[in-house]
Structure formats: C-alpha cells, structure tokens
Amino acid sequence: MGKIGLSFLFLFIFIALNLVYANVDAGHGKGNTIPKNICLMKRFIVHIESDVNNLRFHCKSKDDDLGIVIRNAGEEYDINFCINFARSTLYFCHFYWESNQKVFNVFATKAKHNPDYCFGGPWDAKVNCYWLVKDDGFYVAKFDNPGPDDWVKRYDWE
C-alpha cells in the first residue's frame, strides 16, 4: 500500500472512531464520566442542578435519547459527551415541574443555537455548562463551579 493509500486508511480510521465515540454518553447521574482517552474531539459536561423537588426532564441529542430523569432539590444530573466530527452536537431538554414545562437547548456547538452561553467549539475553553432549575425559571452559570451569585436567568417556565 502506497503513501496515499495509508493516508486514506488513517483518515478512514480517524473518522470511523470519531463517529463511534462522538456522542458517547454516560450522563445518567453525577459521577459518571467517559474515560478521557476516548474523545477524539473535545469533551463537554452539561450540569443540570435542581433547586425544586420532583423535577422531571427528558434530554436528547440527534443520536442519544437519555430518557426521563427525576431530580429533587440539591441533586444534579450530568450529561458527559464528546462533540461529533461535524461539530454540530446539540442537546435539548424538555423540563416538567408541577404544572409548568419548558423546552430549550442546554448545549450546542453551533452559535446560532446558543448565541451567548453553553456554546462549545472544539478549541473553546469552556468545557462545563451549568444550569440551575428554580421555581421561577432557568439559570445559567457565568463561571465554572458557580457560587450563589454567579447565575444569570435565561428562561421562565411556560
């Protein structure tokens, strides 16, 4: 096999591995992680923290349906994933609490989906996205490891 053949073989293997692991998800609770050596592109974690009891939500991407999750006040749910080769990874969640509901993107690599928060690119420094769900709506953190005053309200319940 010549140099061109080896180059195509390497490219094929790289793309195939990336497609296999692009949307690997182990985010069914705090503490679950993807081993660091699996991501070929950048790894991100979306943290969803509940400040209310009996919060139900259902998160999905194009490739992954994470199922219905229930969290109480003080509990967190992590979506741990690698962005795909096309850099088009998007996760959205449908939240339910009492008689309220709301659907929105919790993470996107394309700026048109999330113009000013939880935006991730393959070389973007922000790898953690923090959401806080309260009785009056949805807040996103301004910084990693947010404190009580580090949240900005983004959405109201419908």
Q: Which of 78, 136, 86, 133 is nearest to 107 (CA)?
A: 78
Decide if pLDDT at 130 tops 90.
Answer: yes
User: pLDDT (tens digit, 9 = 90+) per residue, 53-79?
Assistant: 999 999 999 889 999 999 999 999 999
| Extents of the domains making up the chain | 3-155
**pLDDT top residue among 131 and 113:** 131
User: pLDDT (tens digit, 9 = 90+) per residue, 26-50?
Assistant: 444 444 444 555 677 778 899 999 9
Which residue type occupies 90? L
Residue 84 confidence (pLDDT): 78
Q: Model-level pTM?
A: 0.74
CB 42 within 8 A of CB 93: no
3-state secondary structure of 69: strand
